[in-house]
Amino acid sequence: MKNISKLILLSLIAVFTSCNDAIDIDQVGRLRAENAFSSVDDLEAGLLAVYGQLDLTPEIALSANFTDEIAIGFDSGGQGFALYDFVLNAESAAASSFWVRNFIVNNRATVLLEAAENVEILDEDEQERFNNVLAQTHFIRAFSNFELLIYFSPDPRDDSTLAVPVVDFVPEQLTFTALRDTTGEVWDYINADVNRALELSTVEFGGGDFTPTFASVQAINALRARMAITRGQYGVADALATDLLNTFGLADRTQYQNMFLDSDNTEIIWKLERTLNDAYDGQGATGSVFAGGWAGARFAFGSATLDGSPYFEMDRSVFDLLDPADIRFTVNVAPTSVISNDYLNDPDPVNNDILVIQKYIGSEGQPLMNDLKVFRSSEMLLIAAEARAAGPAQDLAGAAALIKQLRDARFGTDQPLDVYNSQQEAFQAILQERKIELCYEGHRYKDLKRLGPDANVGVDRDPIACEIQSGACELPATDFRFTLPIPIVEINANPGIAAQQNPGY
Amino acid sequence: MKLKLTWLLTLFMAFVIQFSFAQEKTVTGTVTTADDGLPLPGASVIVKGTSRGAQTDFDGKYTIKVNQGDILVFSYVGMKDAEKLVGSGSVYNAVLELDSTLDEVVVVGYGTQTRATSKVSSVRVSAETIENRPNASFVQTLSGQVAGLNITTSTGQPGGNSLVQLRGVASINGNTEPLFIIDGAPVDEDNFRSLNPQDIASIDVLKDAGATAIYGNRGANGVIVIKTRQGGLEQGLRMNYNGFVAFSTLQDNDYNRMSTQQLLRYERDRGAGAGAGGSVSPFNPGDGSPLTDAQIDAAPNFDWTDFFFRTGITQSHTLSLSSGGENASQFTSFGFQDTEGILQQSDLKRFNFRTNVTGKSSNDKFNYGTNLTVNYSTSEEPNSVGTGGINQNFVLGAFQSVPYLTPDDYVNGEQLTSPVTFTNTPLFLVDKLANFSRVEEEVKIVASANFNYKLTDWLSANAVLSADYQNEVFTFARGPLGFNAIFFAGDEDPNSAGTQVTTPGFVDQQTIREFTYNQVTSLNASKSYGKHTFDVGLYTEYFKAHLKSFGFEARGLNPATFSPGDGSGFVDDVAAQDVFIDLARANILSSGLFSYFGSFDYDYDQKYGFGATVRRDASSRFAGSNRWATFYSVSGRWNISNEPFMEDSAFNNLKLRASYGTAGNQDITGFGPFSALDLTLDLFGTFGGYGNQNSIGLTQFANRNLRWETVGQLNVGVDFGVWNNRLRGAIDVYERKTTDLFQTRPLSAVTGTTGQSFNTGIVFNRGIDFQINYNIFQSEAPDGFNFELGLVGNYNENELQEIPSPNGEIPGLGRNGGKLGEYFTLRYAGVNPANGNLLYLTADGDLTENPDADTDRVWIDKNIIPDWNGSVNFNFDYKNFFLTTQWNYALGVDRFDNDYAGLIDPTNVGQFNFSTDILRAWQQPGDVTDIPRFNATNLNSFGGSDRFLRSADFVRLRFASFGYSFPRTTLENTGFTSARVFFNGENILTFTEWRGFDPETRSNGSREYPTPRTFSIGFELGF
């Protein structure tokens, strides 16, 4: 009897736990794909995740580090040296960042669009919200494909050149690969999305639901203006840009200053919000095009002051263009900067001339964190000016008038009207104005690629600073490195695309 | 009757040989055991070459008639034989030692066998070589003791994790470490800091598939079975005390860092930094004029290495009590250890308690045992070690700080914020020492119980229930007055910058509770028919793991009331200051395994043996794809030395073994039971998206073909003992083949991701293990001179196949036919004498200053994993002294010396210290040197090359112990039954080309926390 009781005890131990309890486990807190989107509310939440994928800091980092916006800082820890030396290849962060990031946006947007097909719409109000989700999703997808086009097409004005694969669907298999489509095909894809967005969007500037941190009809049109100037469609560019300039107007000096504290939106057509505790609230990858994080951390570790450990400083080629009477001097040059009285003859320019970049001073109490301005009306003005100078009419005076309009606003006083003796002179003036109006906002690389060859302007750094570093001072805008290479990370997965590598790499 | 005949024969023989003057006489003596000196009853005493013999009585005494010149052979089961030559004396005492090689019981898959009948490759490490060593984790102590077991400890943090790999690296992303089982409980293989090594009785390392296949789902990388000490039945109370004090210091380096005077002159020559008058740090804040020679000579010369590193003092105490009655025994131990790390703010304090109980029914049919250990530890662990954070990493401060700054230059954190300069690196870190803390507290409980009931004399039912519980609390705090808090503080005014908050800093606390439960139930049968013996076992195993964590980050600390981990100083969020929003996080995860399996063993006359296992395993990880898998093994042996034809050979033991089998690795991402739990699902998540608003987004692409990694292993080995085990050892050759490797397949970004891990590819590990001991001097006398040589070694070759990329290679991983982790990089070719620029080789081998950073990279057939590793041991004892030395070696290790790279980086001028090597930098055309021009045009253009790749091969005196055991006679009337003193050293001496602090680090990082050199003195007392 005693034996039997012990045997029963052992058998009980053997069976008191059934095996399924151990091998059929659903982790808690999981949202399966099939349950993710069932209402318009869900789609709106999904749209916020897609928005969250958008980032301008890689453009800001590439443009600053590669062109002539920054010099190596006195407090450098070695950040960005290779890119400053114009080392750019298929292994570079730049190639990978632009390729991968934008294709992920393209994919997430497409996932949302496909999910939307199964959502039931209950009433008219929901229909409008639904339409606006679709409009913004198409717009974001267009925005990202446009970025791919600019950076990877050797010539966005030549439809026959190779750009990037057009993938307007969610691939069934993850092993899916595609070869590059032509620039013309990518333009068609972008235009289709832009047109669909325009059809669906009901949010307009001046309307109650307009907010500069989300895309509106005006943001779509600003994208169209930028697309047009990129593609060389000057008439379209001029019309759209001028219209937007008139709609928003230019900020006055106070508004301009407040715009970079994120407390004024006069001039802002669309910006990406950056706020405390969001996915970008941190330093990101300093000195790398992968970037992420606070925009200001592209230049300094701690704050936009001398004490914020600026690893990149303002290049003298920018500083020398800034007039202290210009509000852009106030905005861009930190008051804590150390400015050499006699820079050209200074025995220790590293320590005696420290130009601290202040464009991203911080907001919400967080140094270096600012909203990312995507489209500003001043950019529209400069697009219009470029379109007039470059258009068939070669309206150089019209371009000069627009430049004056901008400077008047920035100085707060009447500025002289430029006279351009040639189209090239006009282009040079426009490039120069863009260099200071849009500095550290990620434009310079694209501007040099688009306009540099015609203006005969390339990367032209302050010779003292670049000689101290490594002697990498100049690079013509015709250089192959103004088009990014197909990244190695893509070639590893998609070897067929290796044969389509961009020229020079 | 038989006895009488013997006597008759003896008489007859005595008669026959009387002409040789031999004189038969009667001798007596006592036989005792070596380990406790107690008399040994029932030992046999035989005159060698005859059948004359006697047995010892209850007091260990014997009497026997012998002739002068005879040899007496003393023997006892489980003891080594001893021999005595009979001379003119009449008393011959013998001391028998435990035989650790012959009939030892070894652990094989959920059971035990004698060493002779074992068919598998395994190595036992006994308590002797583990106890009293000043390593906080016993795993470090195993280093070099087991052939094929590579143990690399890459951190000097007391109790820090070691990388344990058996016979090469068999997985790319998955777990590569063996399964650890303590008293039947599978435990976390990365966390032993809370356990007391002094409690360990033995460690068995199971290597081949014959031994590990039965552990199926977790046995792919070998199994390490640990038994803790037990009391014995019918044993009076024994008390034992072990204690030691240890002193740890930083190991040496050959970087030749500059003194202040060298550095300031170099800075002056370069026209940068304090030496040139261009500094903003406290030493000579620049007015632009260079320092004079006199000023330089007067400058302070401070060694920051000695500041951030220290002599770490360890004290350890263990008291154990064991006793046993007729049906029960117990072992109880208490331990306390306090270990200071050599790096500031790193230490480990722990308290250990263990109680092990065994018992049985009076009819011996029911046996049980329980093992329980409860431990508490608290450790300070500095964060950011290995990083370039000048304000974070103490090691960086120790290795690279400029020597002209001293701790006296530090005032407070506020002052360091203006100006912020890299030169002040050591001062930021002095500030961090004062304002930062990071503490991990842990409660760890390992409990197990085993029950055995003999249903009949050949059939028994068994159950082993076990649990591993750990509760860790991490607290780290950035105090409000430190530089980091102030520097990264937000501003009072949310819409502008400039008015800094007065209560910055944060406290982050995280509690993680992990509980795993494991249960094995079985029916075991064992029956002999004549010379045939059969053992059969049927088993089920159930495993379940649960994790629950909670953490918060409280932002904003009021300096008046702040104390790390306490909430008094927390600052509340106010609408205008969202920088004070606190964060909370929590996690619940579970996983499980279920298996059923069987084993079969057959033995014929201790000569031939055959075994087989088969096991079905299910894992919750693969529930959505390939939940079940089957693993099996077959093994066999031939005890050649038991064959009649071997009777007269020198071999007292010769056994041939062979096995083949498979085992699974279900920990395919290598992060333990709570990782990769549902990779078979497409998942979305809800999280703070754009503008930190709640959003829904894609978080995981499903892998619908997920499966187990499988390791198949073929092993052929031989165990041998020659000349009565004077030379003994084991040699094994093996091939391990891992299939279905879980590794990243590159994917086109157009799919929305650039890679997904899936099961593909093969890695082979082929090699040889050998473990050989030879008693070079073997004294006849009990207190004579003995000298034993031991060789432990492993050679392992690693080969990758079927790499998931079209060209069969993935940079960072390797290439088909190459080894895992093979470097793919540019080849550096020196300095161009013409201009001081760096020279590289193109892929074709031509010199160039501008290599293509993509296409000129090549595979260089080197990696960081050793080809050869093991140890050579010399053990001496004489009288009551003993000396043990263990020389570890590793060959075929190539690492990037990034610490050196930092010390000759000319762009660090004015910010950090240098190696004096930089003084031989290229100056003018024609200079032939290995250091480029300080402003070489391509200095920073090409990051990755083999310029700093160095051999990290080494031979090191890993361990030495010298001690003295007080003889029993001395201890009489002292109340002690045994006493021993010992001096130990770890990492005493290293021979290597590696210039850094520790060649034995599995890392290509820099500014890591090196393992220390330690000397200790201790003693052991038995009551």
- pLDDT band, residue B930 (cuts 50/70/90): very high
Position A4 in a domain: no
Position A19 in a domain: no
Helices (H), A284-438: 316-319, 327-332, 349-352, 377-390, 396-411, 423-437
Q: Is A277 on the interface with B (CB under 8 A)?
A: yes
Q: Concatenated DSSP letters for B140-166?
A: HHHTTTSTTEEEE----STT---EEEE
Q: Is B487 on the interface with A (CB under 8 A)?
A: yes
- pLDDT band, residue B840 (cuts 50/70/90): very high
Domains belonging to chain B, first-starting first, are 2-96 (2.60.40.10), 105-229 (2.170.130.10)
Domain, as residue range, for A351 = 39-73+89-283+299-481
Out of B418, B487, B494, name the one closest to residue A365 (CB).
B494
Dihedrals phi, psi of B799, to nearest 5 degrees:
-140, 130
Q: Is A32 on the interface with B (CB under 8 A)?
A: yes
* Statement: residue B71 has pLDDT above 70: yes
Q: What is the pLDDT of residue B76?
A: 77
Q: Is B463 on the interface with A (CB under 8 A)?
A: yes
The two tokens of residue B111 are 């059971």
Tell me: the pLDDT tens digits for B581-621?
A: 888 999 999 999 999 999 999 999 889 999 999 999 999 99
Helix (H, G, I), strand (E, B) or coil at A500: helix
The answer to whether A46 contacts B685, with C-beta atoms less than 8 Å apart, is no
Q: Provide, as residue numbers in chain B, all residues whose Cβ is less than 8 Å from the Cβ of A351.
A: 278-280, 286
Cα gap B653→B292, rounded to integer Å: 78
Q: What is the pLDDT of residue B876?
A: 92
- pLDDT band, residue B20 (cuts 50/70/90): very low
Position A17 in a domain: no
pTM value?
A: 0.83
Q: Which 833-852 residues of chain B touch chain A by CB within 8 A?
A: 852
Cα gap B293→B264, rounded to integer Å: 9
Position A499 in a domain: no
The answer to whether A91 contacts B854, with C-beta atoms less than 8 Å apart, is yes
CA distance A340 to chain B (A): 13
Out of B277, B451, B688, name the one closest to residue A279 (CB).
B688
Q: Provide, as residue numbers in chain A, all residues whose Cβ is less than 8 Å from the Cβ of B688.
A: 277-279
The answer to whether A76 contacts B519, with C-beta atoms less than 8 Å apart, is no
Q: Which 191-220 residues of chain B touch chain A by CB within 8 A?
A: none
Cα gap B55→B57, rounded to integer Å: 6
Q: Provide, as residue numbers in chain A, all residues whose Cβ is less than 8 Å from the Cβ of B806.
A: 495
Contact A75, B716 (CB under 8 A): no
Tell me: the pLDDT tens digits for B218-268?
A: 888 999 999 999 988 888 888 999 999 999 999 999 999 999 999 999 999
The answer to whether B753 contacts A104, with C-beta atoms less than 8 Å apart, is yes
Percent of chain B at pLDDT > 70 equals 94
Position A407 in a domain: yes
Q: What is the pLDDT of residue B837?
A: 93
CATH of the domain at A399: 1.25.40.390
Residue matched to tokens 């060698």: B48
Q: Which 938-957 residues of chain B touch chain A by CB within 8 A?
A: 938-943
The answer to whether B682 contacts A492, with C-beta atoms less than 8 Å apart, is no
- pLDDT band, residue B11 (cuts 50/70/90): very low
Out of A22, A106, A276, name the one closest to residue B579 (CB).
A276
Provide the greatest CA pair distance for chain A: 115
The answer to whether A171 contacts B751, with C-beta atoms less than 8 Å apart, is yes
Chain centre distance of CA B688? 41
Cα gap A358→A485, rounded to integer Å: 32
Q: Provide, as residue numbers in chain B, all residues whose Cβ is less than 8 Å from the Cβ of A51.
A: 689-691
Q: In which element (H, E) is residue B703 found?
A: none
Out of B463, B627, B683, name the one closest to residue A32 (CB).
B683
Position A257 in a domain: yes
Q: What is the pLDDT of residue B601?
A: 92
The answer to whether B497 contacts A490, with C-beta atoms less than 8 Å apart, is no
Out of B577, B685, B806, name the one closest to residue A31 (CB).
B685
- pLDDT band, residue B437 (cuts 50/70/90): very high
The answer to whether B940 contacts A470, with C-beta atoms less than 8 Å apart, is yes
Nearest C-alpha in A relative to B912 = A77
Strand partners, B532: B529, B604
The answer to whether B698 contacts A49, with C-beta atoms less than 8 Å apart, is yes
Out of A174, A304, A366, name the one closest to residue B490 (CB).
A366
The answer to whether A493 contacts B746, with C-beta atoms less than 8 Å apart, is yes
Of A49-58, B21-30, B269-278, B729-738, the least confident? B21-30
* Statement: residue B496 has pLDDT above 70: no
The answer to whether A276 contacts B750, with C-beta atoms less than 8 Å apart, is no
The answer to whether B750 contacts A171, with C-beta atoms less than 8 Å apart, is yes
* Statement: residue B1 has pLDDT above 50: no
* Statement: residue B50 has pLDDT above 80: no
SS3 sequence, B895-912? EECHHHHHHCCHHHCCCC
Q: A200 vs B704, which has greater pLDDT?
A: A200
Cα gap A282→A297, rounded to integer Å: 8
Q: Is B286 on the interface with A (CB under 8 A)?
A: yes
Q: What is the pLDDT of residue B111?
A: 62
Out of B280, B750, B943, name the one closest to residue A178 (CB).
B750
Q: What is the pLDDT of residue B107?
A: 61
Q: Which 67-106 residues of chain A touch chain B by CB within 8 A?
A: 75-78, 81-82, 84-85, 87, 89-91, 99-100, 103-104, 106
Q: Provide, as residue numbers in chain A, all residues whose Cβ is less than 8 Å from the Cβ of B506.
A: none
Q: Provide, as residue numbers in chain B, all residues whose Cβ is less than 8 Å from the Cβ of A151.
A: none
Position A18 in a domain: no
Q: Is A19 on the interface with B (CB under 8 A)?
A: yes
The answer to whether A178 contacts B907, with C-beta atoms less than 8 Å apart, is no
Q: Is B427 on the interface with A (CB under 8 A)?
A: no
- pLDDT band, residue B538 (cuts 50/70/90): very high
Give the mean model confidence (pLDDT) for residues B329-336.
95
Cα gap B641→B794, rounded to integer Å: 26
Q: B376 vs B941, which has greater pLDDT?
A: B376
Dihedrals phi, psi of B782, to nearest 5 degrees:
-65, -30
Q: What is the pLDDT of residue B215?
A: 81
- pLDDT band, residue B492 (cuts 50/70/90): low
Q: Is A498 on the interface with B (CB under 8 A)?
A: no
Cβ-based contacts under 8 A for chains A and B: 310
Cα gap A464→A71, rounded to integer Å: 10
* Statement: residue B944 has pLDDT above 90: no
Q: Provide, as residue numbers in chain B, all residues whose Cβ is less than 8 Å from the Cβ of A91.
A: 853-854
Q: Which of A7, A23, A166, A262 is the best residue to mutate to test the B interface, defined by the most B CB atoms within 10 Å of its own CB?
A: A23
The answer to whether A32 contacts B618, with C-beta atoms less than 8 Å apart, is no
The answer to whether B756 contacts A10, with C-beta atoms less than 8 Å apart, is no
SS3 sequence, B570-626? ECCCECCEHHHCCEEEEEEEEEEEEEEEEEEEEEECCCEEEEEEEEEEEEHHHCCCC
Out of B462, B751, B941, name the one closest to residue A82 (CB).
B941
The answer to whether A304 contacts B497, with C-beta atoms less than 8 Å apart, is yes
As to burial, measured by CB atoms within 10 angstroms (0-12 exposed, 13-18 middle, 19+ buried), residue B49 is exposed
Below-70 pLDDT ranges, chain A: 1-19
Q: B66 vs A427, which has greater pLDDT?
A: A427
Nearest C-alpha in B relative to A358 = B497
Helix (H, G, I), strand (E, B) or coil at A489: helix
Position A16 in a domain: no
Q: Is B853 on the interface with A (CB under 8 A)?
A: yes
Give whole-number Cα distances, B112 to A232, B104, B274, in Å: 83, 10, 70
Total of domains in chain A: 1
CA distance B138 to chain A (A): 31
